[in-house]
Amino acid sequence: MRGIWAIARHTLSHCLRMKIAGAFVLMLLAILAVLPMILQGDGTLAGRIRTLLAYGMGVTGLLLSVVTLLLSVGVITSDVRAKAIFTVATKPLSRWKYVIGRWLGVVVFVGILLVTSAVTIYAFAQHLRTGEALNPSDRRAVETEVFTARRQVRPQPIDIDTLTERKRRQLQDEGRYQEAMKAFVAQTGGDEQKARSLLEEQIRSQVAGTAQSVGPGGVFLWQFNGIAVAGNKRTAKGQVTLVDEETASLRILADDELLGSLVFGGPVRVNGVDLRVTRLEKEFFEVQPSADDRAGGRLASLVSGAETDIVADPTIQLSYKAAASVNPTDKLLRSIWQLDNPATGFRYMELRSDPVATPATMTVSARLVDPNGRMDAQYVNLPDSQGKGTSVTILENDIAVLFRMGSFEGTFIRGTVMILLQLAFLAAVGVAAGSFLSFPVACLVGLATLPLSMAGGFLRESLRLNPESGPATDALTLVGAWIFRVVRVGLPDFAQTSPVDSLINGMNISWEYLAQAALLTGVIRTLAILVIACLIFQRRELARVQV
Amino acid sequence: MADDVQGVVVARNLTKVFRDFWLREKVTAVAGLDLDIRAGEVFGLLGPNGSGKSTTIKMILGLLYPTRGRVAVFGRLPTDVRIKADIGFLPEESYLYPFLDARETLDFYGRLFRQPRRQRRRRVDMLLDMVGLGSVAYRRVGEYSKGMQRRIGLAQALINDPQLLILDEPTSGMDPIGTRQFKDLIRTLAMRGKTVILSSHLLADVEDVCDRICILYGGRQRALGRMDELLSKEDFTQITTERLDEPSLESLRRVLAASGRELLQVSAPRDKLESLFLRIVQEAQEQRLSTGGAVSGGVIAEFLRPDRDQTHNVLAGLVSVAEAKAPTDTQEVASSQAAAAQRKTEVLRDLVEPEKTTSALQPQGDHKDASPTKQPDRGLLDELLGGPKNNPEKS
């Protein structure tokens, strides 16, 4: 290990003196300073912070990827070109240790740059967090949708297979299936197998679309499993300080600890009544009980100066996006949400108006989740203000229950480690290319890896080289498919494993996910490439015959 | 190969063929070379440009692989990492890292030998002093002159106190002082039983330090043997004495003619430019004139010197060799010219008093075992100088 570390130290020293570190930090600071000013996102504070995180981490990842490739390619090729390798290879140091040492040195160097960058971005984000939010909803989004680490569960998937089978039988009974087959056979030039495949696909697609849409007055039903509620219930005493009859709101003074566990728009129990926080300040919060509760219910005794029991439950969030087949005139979709705890029967209902095709989030009490982590949700599609209705579509991937799993800081650190794993992989590619190619050629190979890793999925779609789409028909496609297969196995999909989306959406990056990425990218792929690099370098002649 | 290995470096039928991209044979850099380099000898590889010297060295070091034949170093393949702990290598140019300073450079190479920090620091200090770069140790190597880079290159080759030192064109770019010190160092290392392989164009350097040489041409071995065997001219005798006037020369001619020989050349010996240069620089250094470059240094690092008991022998050996060399030695330049004149007088007295033996009759040479293989024709000398004709114990 001492030999490896000696080479790694030397590489680090080399990189630090190349002034690339200073240039990078200056560039990053300039970008981070300018970005929040020129990119306001949607104008909200949450949007600005998301923009900072997305562009900051994105730019950092991209810049460091290029820096990593250039450095890792250069560390070995420059030694061979300048013949400094003569004095190193004649020392008692195995060549594989030299290769690993060079790789390690580059990884440590870019790791330092990455940490510098991440700390800077984090500091900028925290600085923005202290800024003024556009409205309470904006503040709530900042705290509960950005500076958090949530996990999401999707509803139980629709049983498309059964529905498709049912639809097929129906069509066959009606004789329409046979008619459609004839049309498809004619379209495919007599290839019955292909025609059947196309027809089945179409039925399946139609069934999936229908299952995820409801007409006016229709109802969606979802069942969620695996919801893990974090945090404990908080109970405290509060004092009613203001009763506003005009707005029918109560202002309640409470201690910091309780106020810290409430969220704007989130649930709170006052005197045993489930209410929603309509205003949240440093020293008090406000609720708007219904007239029934105020008139004769459990809140009737609450007058100014009265003391009351307050319970703040842990919360979960329901996130969804509804699309309309025809846009309502006011572009708002009206709905009733009904959430049920299947074990206790505890129910929560809310009337909502959401902009069309815009992500919406409801924060609700975690009491809706039973001890097995289950919750039922129901969506009723209401007609608009003029009594007209439209068909509403909520795709399976557009609805989820989110619950807090950890801290933003933990996710930020794990996300940074994931970027480091990507950089370590790229460093291995660069070192491998530099172990037998000249600098320009190795650079070309290394830089070609970057778009393939970052946009592998997109390229696969655009090149129509999806290996699952069936056998290739011509030689070129066949060769392309094979190349892509090799690339897909050898290269990690950075787009899929990028932590940026998780960070800006306040989603948790779990240790398990990190370990999986570390195993696939960091251990298997990186190690395999390093082994190849070591084998090549072990066997190559390091000098040239000069006669 | 280990079973037939006797020497430090053994090569059999060593051949290197350079092929082009299409694997067509382009040029044969080394062809069928056999070498047996023994422990403790200073071995010279000579040859014109492109004769295969560097290629041979690179095969010995495992930087190139033989096309045919085989080479073993310390009985193992050159690619074996274990042997490299005992090898020091100075390439034909000092391929160093320009962004490191001299101290960092040596520290880096010391780390590759897994030397403990304390030992590494001590050796770095001693080597920097030895190569005269102690005062510029914190300057980047990239800012050094070529000669200074050679010095630091030499220091890195010695950081591990190697058993086998391979030097490719070691004195190229070095000033005469550095060259002189370098040659002294090789002698010292050889006395400690180290093996040195030296490749050089500078024949004088090779002649001064090597025990055996191999001359290559076109990748093939053209001559191999001991230096004195290859260089001695058995048919000639050379006498050096005080300036002779014409009558004395005439009487010499007569004596030679009487024995059927002819006086072929009469000339006044000239001082060597090297000696003149060394003298001037030494005077400047004694006056402490400032310089941004290397200073003389020259104190061989302690860890490279023989041990205490051996030191006296080595020094004695060095002194005796130096004295035998007359005006070309550094130490002699440092001494007064009177001492040189005194020695010259003694030599002459020995010549005119043939009953006394003299080392001045021995061939001038530096290396430790440069004992004369060719003795002067005592009979003729005795006849020339009027001494007894048979005095074998004084020959």
Residue B51: CATH number of its domain? 3.40.50.300
What is the domain extent for residue A413? 2-148+407-437+511-539
Return the pLDDT at A343.
92
> A51 φ, ψ to 5°?
-65, -45
In the predicted model, residues of chain B with pLDDT beneath 50 are 1-5, 308-395
Q: Give the amino acid at B253.
A: R
pLDDT of residue B343: 42
DSSP at B326: G
**DSSP H or E segment with residue A49:** helix A45-81
B97 and B119, same domain (yes or no): yes
CA distance A255 to A241: 13
Whether A286 and A327 map to the same domain: the answer is no
Contacts 24+ apart (CB under 8 A), B365-368: B365/B228, B365/B321, B365/B324, B365/B325, B366/B183, B366/B187, B366/B208, B366/B209, B366/B321, B366/B325, B367/B42, B367/B187, B367/B190, B367/B208, B367/B209, B367/B210, B367/B211, B367/B227, B367/B321, B368/B187, B368/B190, B368/B191, B368/B317, B368/B321
Residue A363 lies in a domain: yes
Q: Specify whether A430 is located in the same domain as A518.
A: yes
Query: CA–CA separation, A117 vs A24, rounded Å?
Result: 9
Q: Does residue B352 belong to any structural domain of this protein?
A: yes
Q: How many CB pairs under 8 A join A and B?
A: 88
Kindly report the backbone phi and psi dihedral angles of residue B390, in degrees, each rounded to the nearest multiple of 5, phi listed first.
-125, 105
Of B55, B95, B112, the CB nearest to A84: B95
Collect all residues of chain A within an 8 Å Cβ-Cβ radius of residue B140: none
Q: Is the same domain home to B94 and B211?
A: yes
CB burial of residue B375 (10 Å; 0-12, 13-18, 19+): exposed
Would you give the distance in Å from CA A41 to the centre of its chain?
18
A94 → chain B, closest CA residue: B81
Q: What pLDDT shows up at residue A143?
A: 83
Option in A13, A18, A87 nearest B91 (CB): A87
A18 and A66 both lie in a single domain = yes
| Nearest C-alpha neighbor of A293 from the set A263, A350, A250, A235 | A250
Kindly determine whether residue A90 and residue B62, on different chains, have CB atoms separated by under 8 Å. Answer: yes
Average pLDDT, chain A: 86
Q: Which of B230, B255, B281 is the last residue of a domain?
A: B230
Q: In what order do the strands lie in the sheet with A347-355?
A: A219-224, A375-381, A332-340, A347-355
Residues A28 and A107 in one domain: yes
Do B174 and B259 reside in the same domain of the chain?
Answer: no
Tokens of B6: 């006797």
Where residue A4 falls (left for φ over 0; alpha for ψ -120 to 50; beta otherwise) is alpha
Asked if residue A523 is part of any domain, the answer here is yes
Tell whether B279 is covered by a domain.
no
Give a yes or no: residue B289 inside a domain.
Answer: no
Q: Are A147 and A58 in contact (CB under 8 A)?
A: no
Inter-chain residue contact A93 with B112, CB threshold 8 Å: yes
Q: Would the CB atoms of B89 and A83 count as touching at under 8 Å? A: no
Query: Quick check: B31 contacting A, CB < 8 Å?
Result: no
Q: Which residues of B touch A7 (CB under 8 A)?
A: 112
Q: Does A210 touch chain B (CB under 8 A)?
A: no
Residue of B55, B63, B100 lying closest to A86 (CB–CB): B63
User: Do both B67 and B98 map to the same domain?
Assistant: yes
From the CA of A134, how many Å to the nearest CA of chain B?
A: 53
Please, which residues bridge with residue B166 across strands?
B89, B197
Strands (E), A367-443: 375-381, 392-393, 399-406
What confidence score (pLDDT) does residue A211 get?
84
Q: Is the domain of A122 the same as that of A68?
A: yes
The boundaries of the domain holding residue B170 are 2-230
3-state SS class at A488: helix
Read off the DSSP letter of residue A468.
Answer: G
Rounded CA-CA distance B57/A182 in Å is: 80
Chain B residues within 8 A of A12 when measuring between CB atoms: none
Q: Measured between alpha carbons, how far is B53 from A210 in angstroms, rounded to an integer? A: 82
Are residue A10 and residue A45 in the same domain, yes or no? yes
B301 in any annotated domain: no
Q: H-type helices in chain B, by residue range? A: 53-61, 102-112, 117-130, 146-158, 176-191, 203-209, 227-231, 246-258, 273-286, 308-324, 330-334, 337-352, 378-385
Residue B350 lies in a domain: yes
Assess B112–A contact: CB distance below 8 Å, yes or no.
Answer: yes
The verdict on residue A544 lying in a domain is no
Q: What is the pLDDT of residue A473?
A: 63
Q: Which residues pair with A240 in a beta bridge?
A: A252
Cβ pair A92:B81 closer than 8 A: yes
Per-10-residue mean pLDDT of chain A, 547 residues long, equals: 91 88 80 73 84 89 91 93 93 95 96 93 90 80 87 88 89 88 85 87 87 88 90 84 81 84 82 86 85 73 83 89 87 92 89 90 88 94 80 91 90 94 94 93 89 71 53 70 76 82 89 88 89 93 76
Q: For residues B207 and B258, state if they share a domain.
A: no
The answer to whether A535 contacts chain B (CB < 8 Å) is: no
B283 found inside a domain: no
B63 touches chain A (CB under 8 A): yes
Q: What distance in Å separates the CA atoms of residue A278 and residue A285, rounded to the nearest whole number?
A: 7
B244 & B173 share domain: no
Contact with chain A for residue B58, Cβ under 8 A:
yes
Nearest chain A residue to B159, by CA: A91
d(C-alpha A261, C-alpha B97), whole Å:
59
Would you state the structure tokens that stand for residue B105, as one six-digit string? 């450079």
- Looking at the fold, whether B223 and B251 belong to one and the same domain comes out as no
Nearest to residue B13, comparing CAs of B34, B37, B35, B29?
Answer: B34
Of B230, B252, B287, which residue constitutes the final position of a domain?
Answer: B230
Q: Are A41 and A48 in contact (CB under 8 A)?
A: yes
The verdict on residue A451 lying in a domain is no
Same structural domain for residues A138 and A188?
A: no
- DSSP labels, B54-93: HHHHHHHHTSS--SEEEEEETTB-TT-GGGGGGEEEE-SS
Query: Which among A17, A87, A92 has the least Cβ separation from residue B99?
Result: A17
Q: Give the distance, in angstroms, between the CA of residue B34 and the centroid of all CA atoms in the same chain.
A: 22
* A391 and A300 within one domain: no
**Residues of chain B found within 8 Å of residue A540, distances taken between Cβ atoms:** none
B161 contact A CB<8A: no
- The answer on A140 and A245 residing in a single domain is no
By the 8 A CB rule, do A96 and A89 touch?
A: no
Which of A13, A90, A95, A109 to mutate: most B Cβ within 10 Å?
A90
Say yes or no: A138 and A46 in one domain. yes
Per the structure block, which two tokens stand in for B45? 């590889």
- Report the DSSP beta bridge partners of residue B42: B196
Neighbours of A439 (CB within 10 A): 17
CA dist list (Å): B277 to A46, B6, B95, B148, B203: 79, 43, 29, 18, 19
CB contact, 8 Å: A9 with chain B?
yes
Distances B267 to A303, B99, B324 between C-alpha atoms, Å:
131, 53, 21
Same domain for B153 and B55, yes or no, is yes
Indicate the number of domains in chain A.
4
* DSSP state at residue A188: T
For residue A340, give every residue at least 6 positions away whose Cβ sits within 8 Å of its Cβ, in sequence order, or none.
A346, A347, A368, A375, A376, A377, A378
Return the residue of B nearest to A85 by Cα. Answer: B95
Q: Is residue B207 part of a domain?
A: yes
- Is the domain of B163 the same as that of B196? yes
Cα distance from B53 to chain A (closest Cα, Å)? 10
Paired tokens of B392: 């074998």
In terms of domains, do B212 and B261 share one? Answer: no
Q: How far is CA B237 from CA B264, B356, B375, in A?
A: 10, 20, 9
Does A545 contact B108 at a Cβ distance shorter than 8 Å? no
Residues A103 and A165 in one domain: no
C-alpha A136: how far from its chain's center? Answer: 25
**A272, exposed or middle or buried, with CB in 10 Å at 0-12, 13-18, 19+?**
exposed
Contact between residue A56 and residue A32 where contact means Cβ atoms under 8 Å apart: yes
Number of structural domains chain B divides into: 2
pLDDT for the residue B6: 62
Looking at the complex, report in whole angstroms how far the Cα of residue A84 sits from the nearest Cα belonging to chain B: 5
| Distance separating alpha carbons of residues B22 and A270, to the nearest angstrom | 87
Closest partner residue to A543 among B63, B99, B219, by Cβ? B63
Contact A86 B91 (CB under 8 A): yes
In total, chain B counts a number of residues equal to 395
- Choose among B63, B93, B97: nearest Cβ to A89: B63
